[in-house]
């Protein structure tokens, strides 16, 4: 059977719940802390005291990499999930259970613990700080969540066994969701696979769903990429299209089937913020747009990874004079990235007031669309939908493009837009929208699963 991996902060009951699960399933329990102690012949407090946390993490990584691939319950140390390599090993062909507890319960349990402190703070403050610092990592480790604050190890283990056998969503919820999906433009073979995942007679209740949310979004390459990554890293997930004109309906369906996450695209990057429980600091202000929603432990958190996707290919142009075309959700992320690179940024939009509002928010400049020629930028970033199929017009006239410019078109369908084609004809340096897609998708995958995928792997799957 698949490995069951228990994650969570110290004091959430991983070892005790693991013992019950191992006994019920008649498979061994492997505690990574105990494995480190057995390998070194030293206690964890001794390793921390004499060698420090960094050396302990190296030992922990070695132990996790050597764990058996199946037929075991794995209890991990509280900080194991912060290491992407650990997550890569732990997640492969496993079901991961995040155990949580409130701060009062954790404090009470840790007061009896011999483990050394990880900060100079008093115990309760240390717990609060580390829980906050690791929260995203813990959520990335969660296929299912169990709160152990006011329950016994036996009761918590029963919840785990229930999730393994039945999942979270009900048959009625999954059937209703299939009616929703059938109204979208999911290709027939993909729809058949989704139907098997959600309502098939031999469905695996441990298989979870993710998707791209937009209208339209049938053109998105995300399903092919993410499903390729799931196969490569041994994750029991299926990625599909959530295509509907109403974001509230998409979010309702996603929550009802216990979706793991959503990649949010046009036109919902701003609207979706009203339907999540929390928004990451970058997405909240000054960007004001969300392109990734992570669901974990009953909470939906909105993030923006677009700005990182825009930023990474432009690091070598730090301090350049830039013109940003557009003022929508992806433009806000682009402006944030350009400002972060200390660029002299001017935003142009067909509606000048919209450009000014965004520029005021980001602390840069705006101007009328027709003023492009007088600015003479080093860099032009297209954040309008112009060039995206079926509207394959260029936002600039050919004579406006100069050979000394770098042109970055954030549109990636088609990969070579009319703007990119015209820029190459003029001898410009060009950056394709696939660069944005690759880098923001890498960040999305990390947010959802804690695995740091090399760019080369994503490029291989996107090609």
The residues carrying an active-site annotation are 269
Residue 402's φ and ψ, nearest 5 degrees, are -110, 150
How large is the angle between the packed helices 188-199 and 171-181, nearest 10 degrees? 170
pLDDT of 116 higher than 80: no
Asked which of 284-293, 309-318, 357-366, 389-398 is least confident by mean pLDDT, the reply is: 389-398
**Percent of the chain at pLDDT above 90?**
90
Q: Closest by alpha carbon to 283, among 247, 328, 327, 332? A: 332
Q: Is the pLDDT of residue 86 over 70?
A: yes
Residues of the chain with CATH 3.40.50.300: 3-166
Query: In angstroms, rounded to a whole number, what is the distance separating the alpha carbons of residues 26 and 376?
Result: 71
pTM of the model: 0.94
**Phi–psi pair at 86, nearest 5 degrees:** -60, -45
Comparing 4-18, 101-115, 142-156, 259-273, the range with the smallest average pLDDT is 101-115
Residue 133 neighbours by CB under 8 Å, 6+ apart: none
Cβ atoms of 373 and 400 closer than 8 Å: yes
pLDDT for position 49: 86
Q: Where in the chain is the domain with CATH 3.40.50.10860?
A: 171-304+441-451
CA distance 425 to 436: 22
- What's the pLDDT at 115? 67
| Of 275, 234, 269, the residue nearest 94 (C-alpha) | 234
Cis peptide before 267 (omega within 30 of 0): yes
- Mean pLDDT over residues 442-446, rounded? 98
What's the CA gap between 234 and 126, in Å, rounded? 34
Mean pLDDT lowest for which of 49-58, 74-83, 98-107?
49-58
Which string of b and e fits 216-243 if b means at least 16 CB within 10 Å? Answer: bbebbbbbebbbbbbeebebbbbbbbbb
pLDDT digits (tens, 9 = 90+) for 54-77: 999 999 999 999 999 999 999 999
Local confidence band at 414 (pLDDT 50, 70, 90 cut-offs): confident
Strand partners of residue 299: 296
Which residue intervals of the chain bear CATH 3.40.50.720? 308-431
Single out the residue of 414, 232, 410 nearest to residue 310, CA to CA: 410
Position 389 scores a pLDDT of 77
185 confidence band (pLDDT: 50, 70, 90) = very high
Q: Give dist(CA 84, CA 98) in Å, integer.
A: 16
Q: What is the pLDDT of residue 114?
A: 64
Residues facing residue 6 across a β-bridge:
75, 97
- The mean pLDDT of 263-272, rounded to a whole number, is 94
Is the model more confident about 44 or about 103?
103
Mean pLDDT of the chain: 95
**In this structure, are residues 407 and 419 in contact, taking their beta carbons and an 8 Å threshold?**
yes
CA distance 251 to 246: 9
What tens digit of pLDDT does each residue of 366-404 get? 999 999 999 999 999 999 989 887 788 899 999 999 999
Homologous superfamily, domain 3-166 = P-loop containing nucleotide triphosphate hydrolases (3.40.50.300)
Question: Which CATH number applies to 308-431: 3.40.50.720, 3.40.630.30, 3.30.70.270, 3.40.50.2300?
Answer: 3.40.50.720
- Cα(286)–Cα(333) distance, integer angstroms: 9
What is the residue-wise DSSP string for 225-281? HHHHHHHHHT--EEEEEEE-S-HHHHHHHHHHTT--EEEE-TT-TTGGGGGSSEE-H
pLDDT at 213: 98
User: How many residues are recorded in the chain?
Assistant: 463
Q: How large is the average pLDDT for residues 157-174?
A: 97
The CATH architecture annotation of domain 171-304+441-451 reads: 3-Layer(aba) Sandwich (3.40)
In angstroms, how far is the first alpha carbon of the chain from the final one? 35
Longest alpha-carbon distance in the chain: 74
Cα 457 from Cα 460, distance rounded (Å): 5
Residues 6+ apart with CB under 8 A from 300: 251, 255, 275, 276, 277, 278, 293, 294
The alpha carbon of residue 109 and the mean position of all alpha carbons in its chain are separated, in whole angstroms, by 32
Angle 84-91/53-65 helices, nearest 10 degrees?
20
Residue 112: pLDDT band (50, 70, 90) is: confident
Q: Which of 392, 395, 389 is nearest to 407 (CA)?
A: 395
Q: In the block, which residue shows the tokens 């979870």?
A: 208
Tokens 């995040």 — which residue?
Answer: 98
């Amino acid at each position: 059977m698949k490995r069951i991996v228990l994650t969570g902060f110290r004091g959430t009951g991983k070892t005790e719940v693991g013992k019950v699960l191992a006994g019920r399933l008649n498979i061994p329990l492997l505690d990574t802390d105990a494995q480190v102690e057995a390998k070194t012949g030293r206690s964890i407090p001794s390793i921390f005291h004499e060698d420090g946390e960094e050396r302990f993490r190296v030992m922990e990584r070695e132990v996790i990499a050597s764990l058996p691939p199946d037929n075991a319950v794995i209890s991990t140390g509280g900080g194991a999930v912060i290491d992407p390599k650990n997550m890569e090993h732990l997640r492969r062909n496993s079901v991961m259970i995040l155990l949580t507890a409130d701060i009062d319960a954790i404090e009470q349990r840790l007061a009896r613990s011999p483990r050394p402190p990880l900060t100079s703070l008093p115990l309760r403050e240390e717990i609060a700080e580390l829980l906050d610092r690791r929260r995203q990592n813990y959520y990335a480790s969660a296929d299912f969540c169990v709160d152990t604050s006011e329950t016994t190890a036996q009761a918590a283990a029963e919840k785990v066994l229930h999730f393994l056998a039945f999942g979270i969503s009900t048959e009625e919820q999954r059937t209703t969701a299939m009616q929703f999906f059938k109204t979208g433009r999911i290709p027939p073979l993909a729809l058949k696979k989704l139907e098997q995942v959600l309502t098939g007679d031999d469905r695996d209740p441990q298989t979870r769903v993710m998707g791209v949310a937009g209208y339209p979004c049938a053109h998105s390459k995300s399903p092919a990429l993410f499903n390729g990554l799931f196969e490569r890293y041994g994750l029991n997930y299926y990625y599909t299209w959530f295509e509907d004109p109403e974001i509230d309906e998409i979010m309702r369906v996603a929550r009802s089937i216990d979706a793991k996450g959503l990649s949010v695209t046009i036109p919902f990057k701003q609207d979706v913020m009203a339907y999540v429980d929390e928004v990451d600091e970058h997405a909240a202000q000054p960007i004001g747009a969300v392109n990734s929603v992570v669901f974990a432990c009953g909470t939906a958190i909105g993030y923006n990874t677009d700005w990182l996707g825009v930023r990474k290919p432009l690091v070598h142009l730090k301090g350049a004079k830039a013109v940003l075309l557009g003022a929508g959700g992806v433009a806000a992320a682009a402006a944030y990235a350009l400002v972060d690179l200390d660029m002299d940024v001017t935003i142009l939009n067909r509606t000048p007031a919209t450009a000014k509002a965004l520029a005021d928010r980001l602390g840069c400049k705006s101007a009328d669309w027709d003023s492009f020629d007088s600015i003479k930028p080093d860099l032009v970033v297209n954040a309008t939908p112009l060039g995206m199929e079926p509207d394959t017009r260029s936002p600039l006239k050919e004579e406006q493009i100069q050979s000394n410019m770098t042109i970055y078109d954030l549109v990636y369908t088609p990969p070579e837009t009319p703007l990119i084609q015209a820029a190459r004809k003029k001898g410009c340096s060009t950056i394709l929208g696939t660069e944005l897609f690759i880098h923001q998708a890498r960040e999305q995958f990390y947010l959802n699963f804690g695995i740091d995928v090399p760019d080369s792997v994503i490029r291989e799957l996107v090609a």
